[in-house]
Every structure is written in C-alpha cells, then in structure tokens.
C-alpha cells in the first residue's frame, strides 16, 4: 500500500502575503463560484500544489476564500486517515493522474499524459476524458463529505486573454460533467488561470503539454470536520 506524506503547511502570514501579490489582470479576467466557507479547511501548501511555484506572478486571489487553516489534534488525524484512503482509491482507479496528499486535502492533476485532456482549442469533454471522469465521480460519490475545487490552466501559445477564457471553459466543462453525474453542485468551486501559472517550461512541447492541465483539489467539508471533532472527543 502506498503511503501519502503530508506536505508542511505554510504559515497563515505567508499565505496572506502570497495572495496580496497576485496579479490584478488575472483577477479581472477570472471568476469563481463562491460557496462561502463550505470548502473545508486546508493550508496554504495546497495553493502551491494547484498553481505551482508562481504564487505572486499571476492568478486569482479569490482562491483565498476557499483555503483556510489545517485541522489539528485528534480530529486532524481522523480526517487525514479518511483523505489517505480517498487518495489511494483515486490512484487505484485513475493510474495516469498525479495524486498528492497536501495538508488536509488531495490534489489531483490531469494533463495530456493522464486521463483528462482537451483537443487543441477545444473545451468539450472527449470520450477518453469521460471514462476517467466517470471513475472520479464514482470516488466522489463514495466519499460524500468532501468539497471539490476545479482549476483550469493552459500553455502560453496564443493570446493571453483567449487562453484565460479557454481555461475557464475547460474548468467549467469538468465541473459541469461531474455535477451532471449526480454530484451536488454545492460541493464545487471552479476557478481558472489561463497561461499565468505554468508549472513546466513552456518553451518545450513536453512542458506545454503538462501546462495544459486541470487540477482537482478535494477538501474536507464542514460535516467531515464536525464528525471528526466529535469522534476525537469521545476517544
């Protein structure tokens, strides 16, 4: 059985500083469906896993609304165990995806080398991607006490404004496909960054393929947190 090691969360101050440096142009071009505080509690490290090593070079500060502090103590251990099991399940069901356990959450990265990808300049979910997303929807149905953040990215080829819209359409396509599978829309927040957050070298074909990606972050919802806190108090 593969073990998932939690990354060390950055401090709350570091998260606020990073978000304060985020590029305003990307904020103007992006939007997300705010769900208040419904997306559980997860530390700043998950932000880095979603947008790479470019915090402060672009992006959407509204992500801060869905990223909070890590749950500690016995409740945190119980949540961690549940998220470990879910991460392992996703890796078993979708071996082509990159699955990371980060703080109290899980980050799944899909690119052209994994199970969810898009044809050039397209945002529709193709047949191969449908197969993968069907498996992912099954895991989400098995673990209902989580919320889901879907984030879209592109490579740097083409106009920046066009790429922002393309990443928006692709992220929304993934969210819409999953909710059409019977998952509650209230579990989802959708965001997009266009070409502003590359994790790989856009000067190479391989790097561009990996930058055309969709991240799915899975976070404990309030119900999971409350249940874990009650269970921890009883033990």
The DSSP string of 186-201 is: GGEEEEE-TTS--SS-
- How sure is the predictor about 91, in pLDDT bands with cuts at 50, 70 and 90? very high
- Res 38 pLDDT > 90: no
165, 173 contact by CB (below 8 A) = no
What's residue 173's pLDDT? Answer: 95
Tokens of 83: 């998220």
Mean pLDDT of 73-85: 85
Give the pairing type, strands 188-192 and 146-152. Answer: parallel
Q: Residues 137-169: pLDDT tens digits?
A: 999 999 999 989 999 999 999 999 999 999 999
The DSSP string of 65-96 is: GG--PPP-HHHHHHHHHHHHHHHHHHHHH-TT
């Amino acid at each position: 059985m593969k073990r998932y090691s939690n990354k060390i969360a950055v401090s709350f101050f570091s998260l606020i500083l990073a978000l304060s440096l985020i590029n305003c142009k990307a904020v103007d071009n992006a939007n997300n469906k705010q769900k208040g505080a419904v997306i559980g509690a997860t530390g700043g490290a998950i932000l880095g896993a979603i947008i790479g090593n470019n915090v402060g070079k672009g992006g959407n500060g509204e992500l801060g609304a869905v990223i909070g502090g890590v749950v500690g103590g016995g409740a945190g251990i119980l949540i961690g165990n549940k998220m470990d099991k879910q991460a392992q399940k996703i890796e078993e069901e979708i071996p082509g995806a990159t699955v990371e356990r980060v703080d109290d959450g899980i980050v799944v990265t899909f690119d052209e080398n994994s199970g969810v990808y898009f044809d050039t300049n397209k945002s529709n979910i193709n047949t191969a991607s449908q197969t993968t997303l069907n498996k992912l929807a099954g895991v989400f149905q098995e673990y209902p006490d989580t919320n889901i953040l879907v984030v879209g990215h592109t490579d740097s080829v083409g106009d920046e404004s066009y790429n922002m819209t393309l990443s928006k359409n692709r992220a929304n396509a993934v969210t819409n496909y999953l909710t059409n599978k019977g998952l509650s829309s209230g579990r989802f927040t959708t965001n997009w960054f266009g070409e502003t957050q590359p994790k790989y070298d856009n000067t190479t074909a391989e790097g561009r393929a990996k930058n055309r990606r969709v991240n799915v972050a899975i976070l404990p919802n309030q119900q999971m947190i409350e249940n874990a806190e009650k269970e921890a108090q009883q033990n």
